[in-house]
Amino acid sequence: MRKVLLAGVMTCVVGLVSVRGAGQAGLSPAPCGCAQSVREASAKLDEADEILTKPVSGVLQGATVQKDVLTGYVRRAQGRVVIPSARTAPEAAAKFLERFRRLFAPVKMSGDFRQIGETKTPSGDRITFARFIGGLPVLEDQITIFVDKSHAVTLVNNELQPLRRVSTADAKKALGETAARVAAVKCVTAWAGVKDANIRPVSEKGYFVTKDGSAILVWRVRFDTREPLAAWEALIEATSGRVLSVSNLAAYGK
């Protein structure tokens, strides 16, 4: 996913338009500004850019694992790990995560894991967990566990971000949901020349993890437009009201 981080007063890059392309296309500078891509500022890396060790055994009994060479935590595990007394796939996945969570994230900063999805397949179930801090989700932060018909764990994909600290900014003074939606729509509308009169944004409060491992409180605001045809996502820092990033989700799937 290609996004842009907004900070300062610079020409903004959204969707498929680059800094140079924006000027050539005659687009005016974004009122919210931008500096670097969210990928550069975020702790989360694209899968193609992950630096993993070669598969090794002995770390997790019954499976081979690949670690992130930068953090030392397991990113991938494959094999067959038996979970005694598990009666269902979700129970097996939850027990596995509780028992081995130290392999996938720092225990002190791992937060609470909650199941957010279950998909049944011919070979078993795929159980997805998300990490929560103080009841709020860490955005785009998940771990997926595959469980076979006998309730043994066969594959783990770890997409947890290297969280090191949580922002101490006063959450009680955080921007309200309505104000966050207004800020997001105003920024995108002014920059992209949106002509739609009826915009219906939806929003979610959560944490965004920066490259240095800091979790900051944000509002994620999403809305669709017909002209231009796009599915926008904006991240608004809840404690300051700054527009952190803007992206066109519709462009990334092409």
Q: What is the pLDDT of residue 8?
A: 36
pTM for the predicted model, two decimal places: 0.75
Cβ atoms of residues 163 and 109 within 8 Å: yes
Task: Read off the pLDDT of residues 64-83 as tens digits, 9 standing for 90 and up.
Answer: 999 998 889 999 999 999 99
Q: Is the dihedral of CA 189, 193, 199, 205 positive or negative?
A: negative
Please give the pLDDT value at position 161: 83
- Which H or E run contains 226? strand 214-226
What pLDDT shows up at residue 207? 93
d(CA 8, CA 6): 7
Instruction: Specify the pLDDT at position 79.
Output: 97
> 33 with 52: CB under 8 angstroms?
no
| pLDDT at residue 252, as a whole number | 58
The residue count of the chain comes to 254
Regions of the chain where pLDDT drops below 70: 1-50, 108-111, 170-172, 252-254
pLDDT, residue 64, reads 97
